[in-house]
Amino acid sequence: MNENIIHEILKEYEMKRDTALKDALYRKNKLYKEIPELEKIEEEIKNVGIEITQSIFKEPEKGKELLNLLKERLNKLKKKKAYLLESNGYPEDYLEPKYECNVCKDTGYVNGKRCRCFYQKLINIYYKQSSIAEILKKENFSNFNFEYYSDKPFGDKPSPRSNMKNIVEFSLNFIKNFETTAESLFFYGDSGLGKTFLANCIAKELLDRGKSVIYRTAPDLIEGLRINKLNADSSSYNEYLELLKECDLLIIDDLGTESITAFSLQEFFNILNTRLLLGKKFIISTNLPLSEIMSIYPERIYSRIFGHFKLLNFYGEDIRLKRKMII
């Protein structure tokens, strides 16, 4: 991950934090003039803390007793402050800084680790640098058309249209139950049947619900890991890997089109295994039949896919050709 990007994000956090603190100070000064007693209470709260700390330092053997006394006095003062605010028509937290992220208080870090909002900012930057935002304007459920799929039986299988309706219904339930479902989705079937389109539809819905989603083709995923691993900046690989592990949904398109090497298999397994252990979701799509997946990938990979993913088979005629003929 480019250090300039990290620097810009930290600078943005600093500006947001400064704004929140300045706004809180403005509200505080305004209320001090309107409710003079409020300033006295806040000053007393500050003094109680100093007084007790000094007392504990002087008499450490009474530390527990003095701490209990501190809590008691602070609770009384805070209740008095809350009553004063509410009786004058202000919420209890009116004087507190209003941070964009209450978890990290706009620092980007929680207990020395990057906050979820930090990863979301990195993902947002990734989307701005790619074409996915424009793609999702066209490839979403409002533009999904079942008419492109034949309503006639497909050999001994139900019609492609009936099959697609079942797949879409399952996908909508996947979105609806995203927080609780344990399964990921595995789309397989010939090219031109709407696998990528449907993955983008799901991505759009989840992004609109505030979830973090990363879309990568299998070759781009592996190449990104390879380039970052070779980068002289040792943190670059870890930054990229962390994004892939932490996002709510990772979409890997065109599995099987990447170069199959010891490196690609190891990296794919690491991402697959780590995210499954963390309870994170995937959508993986491939044009390959399941038998070929089993012949290309080692058992430790395909057993995890078959065991933790809902396998959804796309079949029928190439709808991309149909769409072109209709247009």
Please state the rounded mean pLDDT for residues 198-205: 92
* pLDDT tens, position by position, 211-223: 888 889 999 999 9
Q: Are residues 143 and 58 in the same domain?
A: no
pTM over 0.75: no
- Confidence band (pLDDT; 50, 70, 90) for 324? low
Check whether residue 48 and residue 135 sit in a common domain: no
**Do 80 and 146 belong together in one domain?**
no
Same domain membership, residue 144 and residue 72: no
Domain identity same for 48 and 79: yes
The parent domain of residue 226 ranges over 130-325
How many domains does the chain contain in total? 2
Same domain for 196 and 311, yes or no, is yes
User: In this structure, is the dihedral angle defined by the CA atoms of residues 172, 173, 177 and 181, taken in order, positive or negative?
Assistant: negative
- Tell me the percentage of the chain whose pLDDT exceeds 90: 46
Instruction: Say if 300 falls within a structural domain.
Output: yes
d(CA 68, CA 87): 29
CB atoms near residue 186 (< 10 Å)? 22
- Average pLDDT for 73-102: 88
Tens digits of residue pLDDT in 261-310: 999 999 999 999 999 999 999 999 999 999 999 999 999 999 999 999 99
